[in-house]
Chains A and B, each alone.
Chain A
Amino acid sequence: MEEKENKLVSVLRDQSQLIILILLVTVFSITTPSFRTTGNFLNLLKQVTVIGVISCGMTMVVISGCLDLSVGSVFSLLNLVSITFQLRNNFLGVIMPLVIAVFIGFFNGFIVTKFKVNSIIVTLGSLSLFSGIAQLITNGAIISGVTGTWYGFIGRDKLFGIPVHVYILFIVAIVYQIILSKTTFGRKIKYVGTNDTAAEIAGIRTNWMRTMAFIISSVSVAIAALIYSSRMTTASPVAGAGYEFDAITAVVIGGTSLAGGKGSIFKTIIGVLLLAIIINILTLYNVMYSFQNIVKGILIIVAIIVDIRVRRRVEV
């Protein structure tokens, strides 16, 4: 009897975010008529897919024990790159952001791992660096691409009644989850995040693992930027400002520990949905935009505190 109870408690604790999510959806569906409309859900999905794909990549970096603050300005930069090349050729518009993303991820990862520097400070620097480059490309202006081509497929079209970008989020999430839980690469990244000295002694190339995590993060940002620029067919040098905090908030409230070593894509997706619904409700009730930042800040701090508490209890 007692064992059963313990099991129930541990399941509840493990899945507390999912339970909160279900509770929130139920409560708001009952209390707020504008929340349960199809239009609102479609709107919600638009926000969820862009931040969701970025957060999936961020999860990899966080599990490896680092943090990537540059995703916001990398998003803006790749957004611009995509539209700039799309003006010449649709194909280049899709490929170039992905190629450049690999280089950006490698740059961040190389500096963090090779010189053993705190990833937050390095990516704070690259945040300014890439934001400067993004604004330099168009001199701070907004540019628009060619509309009415197949370039708009991923952002605007539907497949079997569901927007294409939702499928992309699903594919990204499933692929990353498989990488994390079913491959040696995934297991190695978790080891590196848990204890990098031990991982190094065990023969894992820790630097390479972390760099790969950063590359995965940037490539995810490129995919998210493609969804966005395909939908808007315009690009702005500040399109992604603040996305880094959205992604970090989503990852952390999903339950992935900032200390590294633990976490899953599934949890992050729940975190993204939680954040999106909270913000959606604030918007529906006409709460001022600035409250969103306040809520995000509180969520980050609360999630960090809860994470540390839970971990300490487990360690004891």
Chain B
Amino acid sequence: MKFEKIKNFLNEQKILLIILVIGIFLAFNSDYFLTFTNIVNIFQTISFEGMIVIGMALLIIIGEIDLSVGSVMAFGAALSIIFQPYGIFTAIIAGISGGALVGLINGLITTKLKLPSIAVTLGTMVFISGIVYLLTREHTIKGTNENFVSISQTEIYHIPMPVIVFTVLLIIFEIILQRTILGRHIFAIGGNATASRFFGIKVDAVRIFCFVITGFLGGVAGVMLAGKLNVASGRIGNSTVVFVITAVLLGGISMEGGEGSIFKAFQGILLLGIINNAMVILKISSFIQEMIRGLLLILIIVIDSINIQKKKYL
């Protein structure tokens, strides 16, 4: 009986355990790993893509997906650099609303024309990437307003702004998902869209909302990323989509939909962040890092699928 309980607990919290094991391993192998600077560094690195992970988690729970997130992040970054002559505030708003607009387009095409989101967002991914290259004239563009960097470089109690924004967003969306009617509708649609429609849930509206939120968060991530060095280019966000989908699945959210939490997605991105950090500390070549990222995605989707099949035959 007691053994069963422990087993259940281990099964539920396996990602946290893996994080702990890797953490202990690294702490013994590197003096640098457990320093305050490095831990802040890990959180700062994951915070940009982490914001997108929140949106992607909502989409996967509702049974959709968005492949355009990387391009959207680059789009937000480019807009926030271009609009700087009109003031920092305008630049931030432009970047964020640009991202939300792409999300709206994704959502409208997917729901109103009843198309598979994976195919639609494959199209918008290429399309928006073209727009970004056009906006940046295929170069790396630099901002005109030097104060713009303050949005990402400001530190409160030595904690950088992106980490704070990421944490606040995590809490807000966890509350929305777990404690509001909207959140319950998201779970219901992900579980069974047809049944949800019969119960009077506005399925399309909720789906569009999730796409808009993903675009919005992509915009926020883009603006913060641009604020880090005050530059933007079309090459931003090349590997974002692989990273983000891996993080969500790694956190234990299934492609089947209808289940999951923002906290789980956070665990996924944290684990990925620590793996990345470990690869940097152990001085593994960036090419091998790219390989490992690809392998991880394949591995994690295979495990997810095995779990789904198992559930079906139970």
Q: Is A43 an interface residue (CB 8 A)?
A: no
Q: Which of B131, B297, B306 is close to A115, meaning CB atoms less than 8 Å apart? A: B306
Chain A residues, CB < 8 A from B309: 115-116
Whether A132 contacts B297 by the Cβ 8 Å rule is: no
Whether A290 contacts B245 by the Cβ 8 Å rule is: no
Chain B residues, CB < 8 A from A291: 130, 134
Chain A residues, CB < 8 A from B298: 111, 122, 125-126, 129
Chain A residues, CB < 8 A from B288: 132, 136
Whether A128 contacts B242 by the Cβ 8 Å rule is: yes
By beta carbon, the residue of chain A nearest B293 is: A128
Looking at the assembled complex, report how far the CB atom of A251 sits from the nearest CB atom of chain B, in whole angstroms: 12
Whether A118 contacts B301 by the Cβ 8 Å rule is: yes
Whether B127 contacts A298 by the Cβ 8 Å rule is: yes
Whether A288 contacts B123 by the Cβ 8 Å rule is: no
By beta carbon, the residue of chain A nearest B255 is: A118
By beta carbon, the residue of chain B nearest A135 is: B287
Whether A296 contacts B305 by the Cβ 8 Å rule is: no
Chain B residues, CB < 8 A from A117: 301-302, 304-305
Q: Is B241 an interface residue (CB 8 A)?
A: yes
Whether B306 contacts A288 by the Cβ 8 Å rule is: no
Of the listed stretches B49-57, B90-98, B113-121, B204-212, name the one at the interface; the rest are far from the partner chain: B113-121
Whether B127 contacts A258 by the Cβ 8 Å rule is: no
Q: Which of A117, A128, A293, A296 has the most B CB atoms < 10 Å from its CB?
A: A128
Whether B115 contacts A294 by the Cβ 8 Å rule is: no
By beta carbon, the residue of chain B nearest A137 is: B287
Q: Is B263 an interface residue (CB 8 A)?
A: no
Cα separation A134 to B132 with both chains bound (whole Å): 27
Of the listed stretches A25-33, A172-180, A194-202, A300-308, name the one at the interface; the rest are far from the partner chain: A300-308
Cα separation A305 to B305 with both chains bound (whole Å): 29
Q: Is A208 an interface residue (CB 8 A)?
A: no
Chain B residues, CB < 8 A from A129: 290-291, 294-295, 298
Report A269-316 residues with CB < 8 Å from chain B CB.
288-298, 300-301, 304-305, 308
Whether A128 contacts B291 by the Cβ 8 Å rule is: yes
Q: Which of A135, A296, A308 is close to B113, meaning CB atoms less than 8 Å apart? A: A308
> Could you list 25 examples of A-B contacts with CB < 8 Å?
A115-B305, A115-B309, A116-B305, A118-B118, A121-B297, A124-B245, A126-B294, A128-B293, A129-B298, A131-B294, A132-B290, A136-B285, A258-B116, A289-B133, A293-B127, A294-B127, A296-B127, A297-B127, A297-B129, A300-B119, A300-B122, A301-B120, A301-B123, A304-B115, A305-B115
Since A124-B297, A258-B116 are in contact, a sample of 11 more A-B pairs with Cβ atoms closer than 8 Å, ordered by chain A residue number, is: A117-B302, A120-B122, A124-B241, A128-B294, A132-B293, A245-B126, A289-B133, A291-B134, A296-B126, A296-B130, A300-B122
Please list the 5 inter-chain residue pairs (A to B) with the smallest Cβ-Cβ separation, ordered nearest first: A297-B127, A293-B130, A128-B294, A132-B291, A129-B294
